[in-house]
């Protein structure tokens, strides 16, 4: 448990024990903004004290239970947290649906129509020049390409279960594609934080394919989720690999 939360919990412990009979309790973990989660303490006077965002979003329920027991309060109910390790399924991103792909295509058509209006007007009046024709043609090519790949703009949706990951995304035909990744399919799991939009978890398969997760809020969040993915895919390195050479040798000799 982060030290900041320990200090904050300790500073509230005296007031909590004093106001416990007045109905004070520790609140569920609640979202601060985006996917950043914090813990809310509700005091008998209806004041709410909120902790800083927790770096490990996968241990939210365990953290709230520990703090509640530290304050001698009843265990709180699990909060809505799609990243929590107590969930049978950890979910990343938003569910994909064909209507999102259709919406993106409609926007592209409308934008292309608006941008084409000056060229159509010039063509109607016989004033469309050769450079204008070239620009209009290039714009049409870009619009067709964007229209074709518009469903991909919906991103991906990950469902992480014990033994595998279900990855959903829209195909170029605007249908939902489902791919299942097992532990044996994975060569490496890394964190790619090269973008300013936020880090992603990158899974490299033995086939050479690289699959990226939806964007996450912080590197701490990405590292916590990466460790849970490794554990759920049962890709923990053997214990012997983390021991010194002489310890491995001793283990072999004593078998």
Provide the 10 A C-beta neighbour count for residue 170.
24
- C-alpha–C-alpha distance, residues 226 and 223, integer Å: 5
SS3 for 181?
A: strand
**For residue range 76-95, what is the model confidence (pLDDT) as tens digits?**
777 777 778 788 888 888 88
Provide the 10 A C-beta neighbour count for residue 157.
21
Least confident of 20-29, 190-199, 234-243: 20-29
- C-alpha–C-alpha distance, residues 207 and 233, integer Å: 17
- Output the six-digit token pair for 30: 């609640």
**Model confidence at 11, in pLDDT bands (50, 70, 90)?**
very low
**Model confidence at 155, in pLDDT bands (50, 70, 90)?**
confident
Answer with the residue of higher pLDDT: 171 or 12.
171
Provide the 10 A C-beta neighbour count for residue 154.
23
The mean pLDDT value of the chain amounts to 75
DSSP structure string for 35-91: TEEEEEEE-TTS-EEEPPPPS-GGGHHHHHHHHHHHTT-PPPPPP--TT-TTSSSEE
Strand 164-170 relative to strand 176-182, pairing: antiparallel
Share of the chain above pLDDT 70, in %: 75
**For residue range 175-199, what is the model confidence (pLDDT) as tens digits?**
899 989 888 888 889 988 766 778 8
- C-alpha–C-alpha distance, residues 158 and 14, integer Å: 43
Tell me the average pLDDT across 48-76: 78
Check if CATH label 2.30.29.30 holds for domain 156-238.
Answer: yes
**For residue range 104-140, what is the model confidence (pLDDT) as tens digits?**
999 999 999 999 999 998 889 888 888 889 999 999 9
Closest to 237 in 3D by CA, of 227, 247, 245: 227
**Model confidence at 166, in pLDDT bands (50, 70, 90)?**
very high
Beta bridge partners of 178: 168
Q: Tally the C-alpha atoms within 13 A of residue 151's C-alpha that lie toward its C-beta.
A: 16
Q: Where are the domains of the chain?
A: 3-86, 98-152, 156-238
């Amino acid at each position: 448990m982060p030290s900041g939360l320990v200090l904050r919990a300790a500073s509230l412990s005296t007031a909590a024990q004093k106001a416990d009979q007045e109905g004070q309790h520790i609140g569920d973990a609640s979202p601060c903004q985006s996917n950043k989660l914090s813990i809310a303490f509700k005091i008998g006077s209806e004041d709410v004290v909120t902790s800083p965002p927790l770096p490990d979003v996968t241990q939210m329920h365990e953290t709230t239970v520990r703090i509640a027991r530290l304050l001698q309060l009843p265990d709180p109910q699990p909060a809505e947290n799609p990243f929590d390790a107590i969930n049978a399924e950890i979910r990343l991103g938003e569910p994909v649906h064909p209507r999102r792909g259709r919406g993106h295509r409609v926007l592209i058509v409308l934008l292309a129509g608006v941008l084409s209006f000056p060229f159509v007007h010039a063509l109607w009046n016989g004033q469309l020049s050769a450079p204008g024709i070239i620009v209009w043609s290039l714009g049409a090519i870009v619009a067709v390409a964007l229209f074709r790949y518009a469903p991909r703009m919906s991103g991906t949706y990950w469902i992480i279960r014990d033994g595998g990951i279900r990855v959903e995304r829209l195909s170029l035909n605007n249908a939902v594609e489902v791919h299942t990744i097992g532990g044996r399919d994975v060569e490496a799991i890394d964190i790619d934080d090269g973008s300013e939009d936020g880090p992603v978890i990158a899974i490299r398969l033995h086939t050479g394919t690289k699959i990226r997760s939806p964007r996450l809020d912080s590197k701490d969040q990405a590292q916590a989720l990466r460790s849970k993915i490794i554990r759920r895919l049962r890709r923990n390195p053997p214990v012997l690999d983390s021991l010194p050479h002489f310890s491995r040798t001793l283990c072999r000799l004593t078998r």
